Amino acid sequence: MYWLDPPVSLSMAPEGLADGPMGRWHPAWVAVVTLLLGFVAYLAIGGLAWIGILVAGGTSLTDAATGGAEPIGQDVMGFLAGNAIGLALGLGATAYLVARLVSSRPAALMRMNRADWPGTGLALLGLVAMLPMIAWLGEINESLPLPDFVRSLEEEQLALLEIVLSQEGSFFVKLFMVAATPALFEEIFFRGIIQRNFERAWGVAFGIAATGITFGLFHIRLTQALPLMVLGTYLAWLSWRTGSLWVPVIVHFANNAAALAYHAMPSSPLKTLGTSSDEAFAIPWVLVVVGTILFAVVVVVMHRRSQR
């Protein structure tokens, strides 16, 4: 007996891979449970790892647990390391554990197939083309009426981001912590297991859309939720269209690396997210239109190319 009969038969699971104990669960339940467990594990493990790093560096346990942003300014790399541990053991380990419980072939279930390099190049071109649209959507998102507590939370996040990006430290270490680690483990979590189970539950279109939405909300930045959802939807589409998890991993890494490099440039002020629209960087509408058209062309080419 299925735990709540799914609307699709087990034979519609990818290559009949859902042969584990959790494979008999309704796939939507698998996705929801994984989301909850992964989010809690990420926060708990990342927080404990950060506290442990502070204590190992000589900070008292009380100060480490209640110090707020001040300890982060004293040990940026320690904070980034704690966050990376949370991503790896919270999101990554949870996703792999669930995949093992769903299937005896977790790598196949999670689409860990070899990347098609020409397709990956097109996917990266699509990212570049959509960046003006993403920035424009960010401006729209910021202009939407939001509660004061949301704005306050955003200001705290930006203050934390400024601390992380302004402190001295190896750029390549930051690149690993801020770009590579999230790209790998967030993709394993969202595109590898969440999307796959949403697809099993209600089809490809729902799986792509639902994964994009949950990806955007996961970052807890409501002033940037709309562009994050669009980016997450594109990454989900890439995973399905190319049949390889590594393509969205590479695109995700490229997006994070470009943002880190931009903010690391001395002449490049930190973009004022969550501030009034007159202070935000304005995106020329021509770039938005041209970028959107180019993005649409890339999507069509990738779609036709995959059907050969």
Q: What is the pLDDT of residues 30-42, one digit of tens each?
A: 999 999 999 999 9
Residue 198 has pLDDT above 70, yes or no: yes
> CB–CB of 256/179 below 8 Å?
yes
Weakest mean pLDDT among 81-85, 186-190, 277-281: 277-281
Instruction: Give the distance from CA 130 to its chain's centroid.
Output: 17
Separation between Cα atoms, residue 111 and residue 114, nearest integer Å: 9
- pLDDT over threshold 90, residue 51: no
Evaluate whether 111 touches 61 at the Cβ level (below 8 Å): no
* Interatomic CA distance for residues 188 and 167, integer angstroms: 30
Two structure tokens written together for 25 = 């669960």
Asked if residue 187 lies in contact with residue 235, where contact means CB atoms within 8 angstroms, the answer is yes
Tokens of 80: 């980034």
Number of Cβ atoms within 10 Å of the Cβ of 219: 15
Return the SS3 of 25: strand
Among 14-28, 170-184, 264-278, top mean pLDDT goes to 170-184
Q: Compute the distance between CA of residue 229 and CA of residue 106 in angstroms, rounded to an integer.
A: 26
Q: What is the distance between the alpha carbons of residues 295 and 273, in angstroms, rounded to a whole number? A: 24
Q: What is the distance between the alpha carbons of residues 11 and 9, in angstroms, rounded to a whole number?
A: 5
pLDDT of the residue at 267: 56
Q: Is the model's pLDDT at 276 over the cut of 70? A: no
**CB-neighbour burial class of residue 308 (10 A; exposed 0-12, middle 13-18, buried 19+):** exposed
Give the integer Cα–Cα distance in Å for 186 and 91.
Answer: 7
**8 Å CB contact between 215 and 229:** yes
Rounded Cα distance between 42 and 49, Å, is 10
Structure tokens at 248: 């969205």
Q: How far is CA 229 from CA 113, 225, 226, in A?
A: 25, 6, 5
Residue 119 near residue 237, CB atoms below 8 Å = no
Contacts of 277 (CB under 8 A, 6+ apart): 139, 142, 143
Say yes or no to pLDDT of 246 above 70.
yes
Write down the pTM of the prediction.
0.87
Confidence at 169, pLDDT banded by 50, 70, 90: low
- CA dist 25 and 102 (Å) reads 9
Q: For 27-31, 172-176, 269-273, which range has the lowest pLDDT when averaged over its residues?
A: 269-273
